């Protein structure tokens, strides 16, 4: 049990499985599904079922990479109908505070209990680069608005909100952005605004993340918020190199790239790296869990979670009866040549 989980919290803010796991002091594991660029729930159902009973809750991204996708709240409702627990992502790019609060009320009324407050990728990177970004609020202001809805029962304007939504509030942080010395300071601002847990950008340089956590502990932030580093299985060495040199705000270690380049099977190596990083995170003081964000590779989340020894999940829906892996998922494993991964030593 880490110091972050020694906090004397007894009153739950939302009662979600995610919150219960953090508060209990058990190591959290969340997954992620990117809603598709089509009017179909097949993608959400396919990967939601694969993660059923294997993660505490599932993130639903909100027009990720600034591309038009099935809405995050609709995908969240679909997971609820499947008996699963979603983490609703909400970005500041696409809505003003009126629309945000309206969507939050609707999402809570339909069963959503976890919300992640994010700025969102800039629209210039997406498939509508000429559209106007809203950014009526920034992510810190959004966090505070959700906290006031929950704790004070009032809207951002100060008007009363009856039957106010009791959300477990999440935020994001990039341990690798510049200037590095202010990353922990920015996280502290989000804690002050009302964030209960944080999921970081994907960790592809463990040495730098360890330094970030040192800064976090120096400020005592690990005792005030639950911290889950994001871990991404990177499909290929070519992708890792691209992220190393071509993605602003991303830090990929040379060791990470070389382990993929030297491997006989790069995809197996990617899974091994993720499992290795999970085990390293479990040893870092102040880390309360991990967020497995297998972008465009969601089918491998069950492999990573089981190989890392993170089963069973203590409070997750279907924890005692994980869904069987479907033939469609197995076919994806076979195509990527990772179908024998769990049998490897």
User: CA 251 to CA 204: how far, in whole Å?
Assistant: 6
**Are the beta carbons of 274 and 281 closer than 8 angstroms?**
no
Strand-pair partners of 231: 292
Section 59-67 average pLDDT: 95
Tell me the whole-structure pTM to 2 decimals: 0.95
Q: What is the pLDDT of residue 318?
A: 97
Q: What is the pLDDT of residue 10?
A: 58
Q: Hey, what are 260's tokens?
A: 């993929």
> What does the domain layout of the chain look like in residue ranges?
3-339
Q: What is the CATH number of domain 3-339?
A: 3.20.20.220
Task: Note the helical H segments in the chain.
Answer: 17-24, 42-51, 72-81, 97-109, 139-151, 183-193, 206-218, 237-246, 254-262, 266-281, 301-307, 327-336
Q: What is the pLDDT of residue 4?
A: 47
Residue 284 has pLDDT above 50, yes or no: yes
Section 31-55 average pLDDT: 98
What distance lies between CA 69 and its chain's CA centroid? 18
The rounded percent of the chain whose pLDDT value lies above 90 is: 92
SS3 (DSSP) at 78? helix
Closest CA to 200 of 296, 277, 315: 277
Q: What residue has token string 């069987």?
A: 324
Predicted confidence band of residue 8 (pLDDT cuts 50, 70, 90): very low
How many residues make up the chain in this entry? 345
Mean pLDDT of the chain, nearest integer? 95
Residues whose CB is less than 8 angstroms from the CB of residue 127 and which lie 6 or more positions away in sequence, other chains included: 66, 67, 68
Residue 88 has pLDDT above 90, yes or no: yes
Q: What is the pLDDT of residue 178?
A: 87
Residue range 97-137, pLDDT digits in tens: 999 999 999 999 999 999 999 999 899 988 999 999 999 99
Residue 5 has pLDDT above 70, yes or no: no
Check residue 91 and give left, alpha or beta (phi > 0: left; psi -120 to 50: alpha): beta
Residue range 153-210, pLDDT digits in tens: 999 999 999 999 999 999 999 999 889 999 999 999 999 999 999 999 999 999 999 9
Neighbours of 279 (CB within 10 A): 12
**What CA–CA distances, in Å, run from 139 to 114, 123, 128?**
16, 16, 22
Helix 183-193 to helix 139-151 angle, to the nearest 10 degrees? 30
Residue 248 has pLDDT above 80, yes or no: no
Task: Name the phi and psi angles at 208, rounded to 5.
Answer: -70, -35
74, 75, 80, 83 alpha-carbon torsion, rounded to 10°? 150
Q: DSSP 3-state helix, strand, coil percentages of the chain (rounded to 5)? A: 45, 15, 45
Residue range 308-334, pLDDT digits in tens: 999 999 999 999 999 999 999 999 999
User: CA 60 to CA 193: how far, in whole Å?
Assistant: 23
Burial, 294: exposed, middle or buried (Cβ in 10 Å; 0-12, 13-18, 19+)? Answer: buried
User: CA 113 to CA 109: how far, in whole Å?
Assistant: 9
């Amino acid at each position: 049990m880490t110091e972050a989980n020694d906090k004397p919290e007894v009153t739950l803010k939302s009662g979600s499985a995610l919150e219960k796991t953090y508060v209990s002091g058990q190591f959290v594991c969340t997954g992620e599904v990117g809603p598709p660029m089509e009017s179909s729930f097949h993608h959400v159902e396919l990967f939601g079922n694969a993660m059923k009973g294997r993660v505490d809750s599932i993130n639903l991204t909100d027009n990720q990479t600034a591309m038009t996708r099935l809405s995050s709240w609709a995908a969240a409702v679909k997971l609820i109908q499947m008996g699963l627990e979603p983490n609703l992502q909400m970005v500041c790019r696409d809505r003003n505070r009126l629309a945000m609060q309206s969507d939050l009320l609707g999402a809570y009324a339909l069963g959503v209990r976890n919300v992640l407050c994010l700025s969102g990728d800039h629209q210039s990177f997406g498939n509508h680069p000429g559209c106007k970004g809203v950014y009526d609020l920034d992510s810190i202001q959004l966090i505070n608005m959700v906290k006031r809805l929950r704790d004070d029962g009032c809207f951002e304007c100060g008007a009363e909100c009856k039957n106010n939504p009791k959300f477990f509030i999440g935020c994001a942080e990039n341990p690798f952005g510049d200037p590095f010395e202010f990353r922990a300071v920015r996280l502290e601002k989000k804690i002050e605004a009302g964030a209960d847990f944080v999921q970081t950008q994907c960790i592809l340089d463990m040495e730098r993340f360890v330094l970030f956590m040192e800064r976090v502990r120096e400020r005592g932030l690990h005792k005030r918020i639950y911290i889950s580093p994001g871990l991404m299985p990177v499909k290929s060495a070519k992708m890792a190199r691209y992220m190393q040199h071509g993605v602003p705000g991303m830090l990929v270690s040379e060791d990470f790239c070389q382990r993929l380049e030297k491997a006989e099977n790069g995809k197996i190596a990617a899974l091994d790296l993720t499992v290795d990083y999970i085990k390293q995170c479990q040893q870092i003081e102040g880390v309360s869990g991990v967020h497995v964000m297998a972008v465009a590779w969601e089918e491998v989340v069950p492999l990573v979670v089981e190989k890392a020894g993170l089963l069973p999940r203590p409070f997750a829906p279907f924890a005692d009866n994980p869904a069987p892996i479907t033939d469609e998922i197995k076919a994806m494993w076979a195509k990527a040549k990772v179908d024998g991964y769990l049998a490897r030593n």
